[in-house]
Structure 1
Amino acid sequence: MTITQLKYVLAVAEAKNFTKAAQKTFVTQPTLSMQIQKLEEELEIVIFDRSTKPIELTPIGQKIVTQAKSIVNESNRMQDVVDQEKGFIGGEFKIGIIPTVMPTLLPMFLKNFTNKYPKVQLKIEELTTDEIISKLKRGHLDAAIAATPLEQEKIKERVIYYEPFVAYIPEGHKLSEKEKINVDDLDLDDLLLLEDGHCFRDGIINLCKSNAAISEDHFQLQSGSFETLIKLSNEGLGMTLLPYLHTLDIPERQLSKLRYFEEPSPAREVSLIYSTNELKLQIINAMYDVIAGVVRGAIRFQDVKIVSPIK
């Protein structure tokens, strides 16, 4: 039995197809099939039911895959132990970032991080929270940046910062004369929201529903970007809420339309999250330190109330 054979088993279990698994593991399909067959013969079991389409795991195959994941993870940890002992911070590092954080946070820390740790090959993906959770659990990401708490087993959350919500209120709006607003002022029927799938949208809905039970059927106007929401708001179609870091890029002529909340300000918690197996922890720690150092200078709010991103 070899680690390579176990990796082939995991690839087939995920792809449910020998050809796709071979492509993913960069070997020929006959080589992959032969190695899995050798493993089955050694264990005297059948891991995959090849008569089904897509290929399915046999009952004993499911147990083998669970154990294989543990063994492969532990084998990867061995290289981590060596890297940490040597003080080496490098190699490929796959990180996912949610869409409402990516455009504001990434430019703030990316250059600093790559300059400080040039041996790390970052692979960055913009992903929804659900995609991030799935990829972390399957080992397809080393870490991610997302709104928390997520209450997920086998995922650790390390808070980087708390980002307040800021209201963007057009001229002539019923709240435009207020210097500061309160959560009780919010009306979901009057709020322009991100489209479904964004945790920032879910956080706003949770914030408003804490005051009254409101049906989501009332929402009609939704968009995939904050820039579009701002433009629609300027047309008098309603107000919107923005994450604080996004307001730093708003043109000076529009700054008068921003309104902050009375303290404690509603805010989202943004964390660096990763698997409890703590693979590549030295890179995770390095990234945390760089991001935290940059963000502390941008966000000075202290008295905040965290809004859940969970539906």
Structure 2
Amino acid sequence: MIQQKLADSLNWTLLHVLIVIYEEGSISAAASRLNITQSAVSQNLKKLEEQLDSQLVIRNTKPLKLTPIGHYCLQVAQTIFTEITSIEAMKGSNSHLLEGEIKLLVASRIHNPKYDDFLVYFKHKYPNITLDLTVKSSRDILNDIEQKNPAVGICLARHTPELLNQKLLFKQRYYLYCGYHHPLFSATDLNLDSLSKEDFIAFHSEDIGEVLFPIAVFKETHGLTGRISAYTNNLDEVVRLIYTGYGIGALPDQFIAATYLESNLRRLPPEEGVADIPVYIFWHKHRALSLIEAKFIEEIVEFDIS
């Protein structure tokens, strides 16, 4: 209740005065920039200190210095006024005004040409927005966002956690592959029956209820009963094991097409592939988005990279 009372009673204009005092380094310079008298600046600063019941500025120093609580208030004020000056940019006519940092949690090895096109478009339209990307597993991304961490996530998910919003971005089509050192690499007249007894490389996330479970369902449905020769949760390791002949496995086709690996891997039957695995953008339902987070989500959804 005390925090709410302060938020309701605080004069936001006074925070702007604090920013200008800090940036100009003196009361007189702040007064000149704001086009008001030095006395008015001093009175505004005094009112702010009274409302916060704290000294914010150390007087009689050149340039003026802030107290520790003054520095904290400055950071809060700068955040508020960055968001305020971004409102016009939200209309789309002044997108270059939007600035700040978006923390993105992204699952590894997500490939889609239209996703790349979107990033090109977003950079050109919002040149002053910085992307802070961290690569994590899909499970860790969902766990982080559920904790209301200030981030937006792009990852795979079989079930959406109750506290999260989601929008489908695109689907990754998975196909079966063998590698250069596998006997099937040079075989002819392959069909599904040719694969029935082959060893498999599997993702941990092919287990029941996990994001790649449709791959396990496909293998079971089509009688692909070969043993699992290796498990991993890392796509690069799956590729390595397939290439070196440890077994066959399912890989996202767009990932293979985007790398140097195509000549060392062979796509196997069926021609139509194994499963479509959706990729979503996630954010917490009860964490207020910053303006630039909201704009990023709006833009990527409207861009239609499916």
Question: Normalising to structure 1: TM-score of the pair?
Answer: 0.54
- Per-residue CA deviation, residues 48-88 of structure 1 (Å, 9 max, x unaligned), is xxxxxxxxxxxxxxxxxxxxxxxxxxxx9999798456526
Q: Residue 300 of structure 2 corresponds to which residue in structure 1?
A: 287
- Per-residue CA deviation, residues 259-303 of structure 1 (Å, 9 max, x unaligned), is 36444751101111222246242221123345x4xx55xxxxxxx
Q: Residue 207 of structure 1 corresponds to which residue in structure 2?
A: 215
Q: 1:221 aligns with which of 230, 250, 258?
A: 230
SS of 1:132's partner is: helix
**Shift of residue 139 of structure 1?**
2.2
Q: Residue 30 of structure 2 corresponds to which residue in structure 1?
A: none
- Letter of the 2:296 counterpart: I
Is this contact kept in 1: 2:256–2:262, CA < 8 A? no
RMSD: 4.5
CA distance in 2, matches of 1:156, 1:78: 27
* Aligned counterparts, 1:33-112, within 5 A: 83-84=86-87, 86-87=89-90, 89-101=98-110, 109-112=118-121
CA distance in 1, matches of 2:254, 2:243: 20
CA distance in 1, matches of 2:281, 2:5: 30
- Per-residue CA deviation, residues 201-240 of structure 1 (Å, 9 max, x unaligned), is 94444432466499xxx64423454343333323322112
CA gap of 1:232–1:134, structure 2 versus 1, over 3 A, is closer
Is this contact kept in 1: 2:99–2:126, CA < 8 A? yes
SS of 1:257's partner is: strand
SS of 2:183's partner is: coil
Q: Does residue 271 in structure 1 map to residue 271 in structure 2?
A: no
CA distance in 1, matches of 2:177, 2:302: 32
CA distance in 2, matches of 1:137, 1:192: 31
Q: Does residue 129 in structure 1 map to residue 130 in structure 2?
A: no
Higher Cα radius of gyration: 2
- Per-residue CA deviation, residues 88-130 of structure 1 (Å, 9 max, x unaligned), is 6432211111124279887665444323211222111111222
Structure 1 gaps of 5+ residues are 7-75, 297-311
Q: Residue 234 of structure 1 corresponds to which residue in structure 2?
A: 243
**Shift of residue 169 of structure 1?**
1.9
Is this contact kept in 2: 1:80–1:279, CA < 8 A? no
- Letter of the 2:183 counterpart: G
CA distance in 2, matches of 1:256, 1:174: 8
Q: Residue 177 of structure 2 corresponds to which residue in structure 1?
A: 168
After the TM superposition, which of the residue ranges 258-267 and 136-145 deviates more from structure 2? 258-267
**Shift of residue 172 of structure 1?**
2.2
Question: Normalising to structure 2: TM-score of the pair?
Answer: 0.55
CA gap of 1:265–1:103, structure 2 versus 1, over 3 A, is closer
CA gap of 1:172–1:272, structure 2 versus 1, over 3 A, is same
How many residues are paired up? 218
CA distance in 2, matches of 1:287, 1:3: 35
After the TM superposition, which of the residue ranges 240-249 and 107-116 deviates more from structure 2? 107-116
CA distance in 2, matches of 1:151, 1:162: 16
